[in-house]
Structure 1
Amino acid sequence: MNKNDKKTPKKRMTLKAVAEALGVSTATISNAFNRPDQLSANLRDHILKECERLGYNGPNPAARSLRTGATGIVGVMLAERLAYNFRDGCATEFLQGVSEVLDDARTNMLLMPGRDDFYHLQSMESIPDRYIVYGPPRDISVIERLERQQKPVVTVDFSLKNHLSLNVDNYGGAKQAANHVLKQIGSQGPVAVIGLRLIQSDIIGRIRETELLDAGVSISRQRLEAYRDAAADHGMQIPEELIWNTHESNWADGVKAAREALSAIPRPRALLCMSDQLAMAALSVARDMSISVPDQLRIVGFDDIPEARRSHPGITTVYQPSIEKGRLAAMMVLNPERFESRVLPTQLHVRETA
């Protein structure tokens, strides 16, 4: 093809040019797209048909956001990489709840990873009008970026000074689960913990006490303290050599940690798992090692995701209202003046594994 035969891209018509072509004001054109109640039905239909003929698709949303300072977008910052949240049942339920409220409010959502390396060459944190921060980001500098925006922020599963927070009763739920198991096994044997991000490191294995994250920023640490307090109430201890860390709430991490834990001597009589994914992985390991559940081993999880309810045997677990938590977080960020920080209750759901 001769280079002279190439078509020159058609220049996008401006709002002003369209208004001049139709002999109306720019406000009338804008109202036809954004405020139809300001025009008669006949006039709006006429303007929209003429705009279509001219190849004009409406006012530029980027230009509008520059003028008004609003984008109509809620940023949802996730503690981990984006892909992880679509593999984790608790996170997907939370995002479902957020989406339901934002859909009804005709508001868009921007998913944002909570890792600083995603922000070095871009400033996506400046796009949203407000933010939900789901779990403490791995890099504190990301929070500092949000704070500089001086926009509404709602934190979920942790608290941030001068901002609304939404949490569940992690300590109470975990202690209820531990007490339930400890009453059953008495002094028959040790209890081990399959933890989730108890330390900053990505290792899968036993923890060292000095590495534990602070309970103020780690819901897993809150659950661990509840397990230990329950054990103390029963005259027992859960020492660091019986606490395993996993990096993610997934099958592979859970299998590795559970296999190590169930190979310990003496073998634990119960596994307190900090997520249902980890509990289901532990159940699979127990089957492979011919350990009868619940006769020889009791297992409890946390979250009550749908897979835990469908598992056989069913997973005894702590229910947290993940979908409702998502809905409430979205309502709080859209209308922060109507809400105060909240702690939602949890509930132990007893099934076959304990």
Structure 2
Amino acid sequence: MAWLVSSLIQAAKHELEKQNKKATSLKDVAKAIGVSTATISNAFNRPDQLSDKLRSRILEECKHLGYAGPSLAARSLRSGKSDVIGVVLADSLGYSFSDPMAISLLEGVSSVLEKHNKQLLLLSSLSDNSSQVGAESLPDGFIFYGTPSQNALARILNLSKPCVSIDFSHEAMPSVNIDNRKASKEIAEYAITDSDDSVAIIGMRLVEDENVRALQEGDNLGNSQEIAHQRLLGYLDGAAAKGVSIPFTSRIHLPRNTIDYAQQAAIALLERKDRPNVILCMSDVIAMTVCRVANQMGIFVPEELKVTGFDDIAEATRNSPPLTTCSQQGVEKGIIATTMLIENDTVSKVVETKLRKRDSA
């Protein structure tokens, strides 16, 4: 998307120069229909300012005249506003579109933007090519989802435009978060029922390593405020409250939240002679993969193995068995963050989570 929108910036001046020569310019269309240019603009951009009858007539006549509406690029150049909101994804666009939570969040963002007649521009914080850097100047404001790269964060903050973050905190902007440590502690305390339980944790991005592996005592966990680290601490808190210690060998790191990585971890844990009877997973994608691997190995869930997830994605209820998980309301977080940005609300929000007790634990 970035490469499509960035071309608008270079085209803006050329668009303005051509506009007076075109038979279907805003001024000519307004004159032909017999209304003001502002009325034409409202018909396309602010429909609530006109009656349904008048707007329908204007749009129909514009269609016959071959006029598709005011140019976004030219309007942005004139007014300094683009009516575009940028969402900066921590990961690549391809990976983000495979992430159910990212999709849920974007659903919430889009629903608010549609109500306010604004457009969505998706950007990856991992990209720093000239096309994206050019496109970053277009949005009126930004929503960061997940911890961005330092380069992207610095570039966008330097634009001095309103920003809101989701699932990470920064002093320069308000945030929308959940209490990850509290939520993971709650689900651990629910799943662990005996001090003799053997418990494992499967998390993602616990360390800087592109391999699936167990944590080691000397590992540097970096920023303790990262989501994965907060969830890890919550699981350890919950286990400790039940009198259970989880060794480093049972704290498994995945480079990313994918089925392939989750399958590697699940097989490694379930092939152990001292295999765990409780596995706490930092996402539903991981948890559903563990359930599938356990089923293939003839291990019954939850009779022989309890499995919990995190997120409560749509597929969680269709899992076999239905997944016990933590609902963190991705759509709602997207709605809240976008509303904050549009209304210039600078007060950070903490969204409540809910333990979904189903059949996997």
Short-chain TM bin? 0.7 to 0.9
Counterpart of 2:196, as a letter, is S
| Contact 1:12 1:56 (C-alpha < 8 Å) held by counterparts | no
Quote the offset at 1:140 in angstroms.
0.9
Q: 1:57 to 1:179 in 2, by over 3 A?
A: closer
Aligned to 1:257: 265
| Contact 2:27 2:37 (C-alpha < 8 Å) held by counterparts | no
Q: 1:23 to 1:122 in 2, by over 3 A?
A: closer
Mapped partners of 1:104, 1:96: distance in 2? 13
* Number of residues of Structure 1 aligned to a counterpart in Structure 2: 336
Mapped partners of 2:248, 2:268: distance in 1? 14
| Contact 1:110 1:128 (C-alpha < 8 Å) held by counterparts | yes
Quote the offset at 1:100 in angstroms.
0.8
Instruction: State yes or no: 1:123 paired with 2:134.
Output: yes
Which structure 2 residues correspond to residues 90-129 of structure 1 after superposition, within 5 A? 90-118=101-129, 122-129=133-140
Instruction: State yes or no: 1:341 paired with 2:348.
Output: yes
Counterpart of 1:14, as a letter, is N
Mapped partners of 2:59, 2:349: distance in 1? 48
Quote the offset at 1:291 in angstroms.
1.4
Given the alignment, which residue of 290, 308, 311 partners 1:282?
Answer: 290
Counterpart of 1:317, as a letter, is T
Quote the offset at 1:52 in angstroms.
5.5
Counterpart of 2:270, as a letter, is L
Instruction: State yes or no: 1:350 paired with 2:353.
Output: no
- Cα RMSD of the aligned pairs, angstroms, is 3.0
Counterpart of 1:147, as a letter, is L
Q: 1:325 to 1:45 in 2, by over 3 A?
A: closer
Q: 1:166 to 1:64 in 2, by over 3 A?
A: same
Quote the offset at 1:316 in angstroms.
0.8
Given the alignment, which residue of 135, 147, 163 partners 1:153?
Answer: 163
| Contact 2:302 2:360 (C-alpha < 8 Å) held by counterparts | yes
| Contact 1:19 1:29 (C-alpha < 8 Å) held by counterparts | no
Instruction: State yes or no: 1:81 paired with 2:92.
Output: yes
Which structure 2 residues correspond to residues 240-255 of structure 1 after superposition, within 5 A? 240-255=248-263
Give structure 2 stretches of 5+ with no counterpart: 1-16, 44-48
Aligned to 2:143: 132
Secondary structure of 2:200's aligned partner: strand
Runs of 4 or more, structure 1, over 3 Å off, are 15-25, 35-39, 44-53, 55-60, 116-122
Greater C-alpha radius of gyration: 1
| Contact 1:32 1:48 (C-alpha < 8 Å) held by counterparts | no
Counterpart of 2:227, as a letter, is I
Taking only the aligned residue pairs, the percentage that are identical comes to 33
What per-residue deviation string (whole Å, max 9, x for no partner) do you get for residues 188-227 of structure 1?
4x211110111233322223342323222x1111000011
Counterpart of 2:102, as a letter, is A
Mapped partners of 2:69, 2:241: distance in 1? 67
Counterpart of 1:213, as a letter, is G
| Contact 1:15 1:59 (C-alpha < 8 Å) held by counterparts | no
Name the TM-score, length of structure 2 as normaliser: 0.84
Quote the offset at 1:241 in angstroms.
1.4
Counterpart of 2:282, as a letter, is M
Mapped partners of 1:248, 1:287: distance in 2? 23
Q: 1:223 to 1:38 in 2, by over 3 A?
A: closer
Give structure 1 stretches of 5+ with no counterpart: 1-10
Aligned to 1:165: 175
